[in-house]
Amino acid sequence: MAAGIRLQGLTHVFGGAPEPLTALAGIDLAIGPGEFACVVGPTGCGKTTLLRIVAGLVRPTGGAVVLGSAVVSGPQTTTGMVFQQYSLLPWRNVLDNVAFGLELRGVGRAERRRRAAGLLELVGLSGFGRRRPYELSGGMQQRVAIARALATEPDLLLLDEPFGALDERTRHRLQDELLAIWQRTGKTVLFVTHNIDEAVYLGDRVVVMADRPGRVAAEFRLDLPRPRDRMDGRFVGALLAVRGVLERVMSEEEVREETQNRGGYRAEKPADRGPACCGR
């Protein structure tokens, strides 16, 4: 069963020399059950920190993450996470990699292998269970990582730039496979990417973050038919709208840095929540 997420006044500060760094400041965001939400933003705006806080891997300095009806205070059994690096265990074959989380939960060998085999079929790797990770391509290894994240039947699936290291053709193919899995399972998905095209292609909603400190600059609810056509004028319009906000955010940050370097001051504008939808 999918679960919604609420981020309430989320703030995170990294301490240390020469002075504390505010990575996230006052983030309020609500993602509904079964929604596919994508987060884009400049490098260093806190996207990965945000995802790790939602996963319960990092405790925020302030605010809260609510998954379903429970406040997240640590790693959740109802959350699965996929990283950019595949993080597969090289000494285990593919089937046992997928079954690893089930093994940690004490699921019997026969049952966890049965469930892992079903997930390999789901991601199109049913004939590769006995292979070692090094025998697979990067795209195939990432499919194994997705299957492993799904093995424990999470309510929430978090993905941190999972296709960033792949070539464009492979990335597009895995995007379609991920969408098929999402539509089949109904999971709530929070997907972090630096690729605007990817965010608009995948997301029901795109959240644009600004940096220094990390915060929500705009949200776009995408009313685009699926499967999406990158050549469709509505898709292109949504892409340009998101790109325009992101470029403005990055331009304002450059001006702010220049002003600070000169020892001056420049007042900031309030965050723009962006249009309610695109593609209508």
Domain limits, the chain: 1-78+155-251, 88-153
Assess whether pLDDT exceeds 80 at residue 126.
Answer: yes
* pLDDT of the residue at 17: 62
Q: Which CATH architecture fits 1-78+155-251?
A: 3-Layer(aba) Sandwich (3.40)
pLDDT band of 255, cuts 50, 70, 90: confident
Continuous H helices in the chain: 47-54, 94-98, 100-104, 109-122, 138-151, 168-185, 196-202, 233-261
pLDDT band of 267, cuts 50, 70, 90: very low
Mean pLDDT of 26-52: 94
User: How crowded is the C-beta side of 91, counted as CA atoms within 13 Å?
Assistant: 0
pTM for this entry: 0.87
Assess whether pLDDT exceeds 60 at residue 210.
Answer: yes
- Whole-angstrom distance, CA of residue 120 vs CA of residue 127: 8
Q: Assess contact for 199 and 242: CB atoms under 8 A.
A: yes
| Residue 135 DSSP one-character state | G
pLDDT mean across residues, the chain: 89
* pLDDT of the residue at 20: 86
Assess whether pLDDT exceeds 90 at residue 61.
Answer: yes
pLDDT band of 1, cuts 50, 70, 90: low
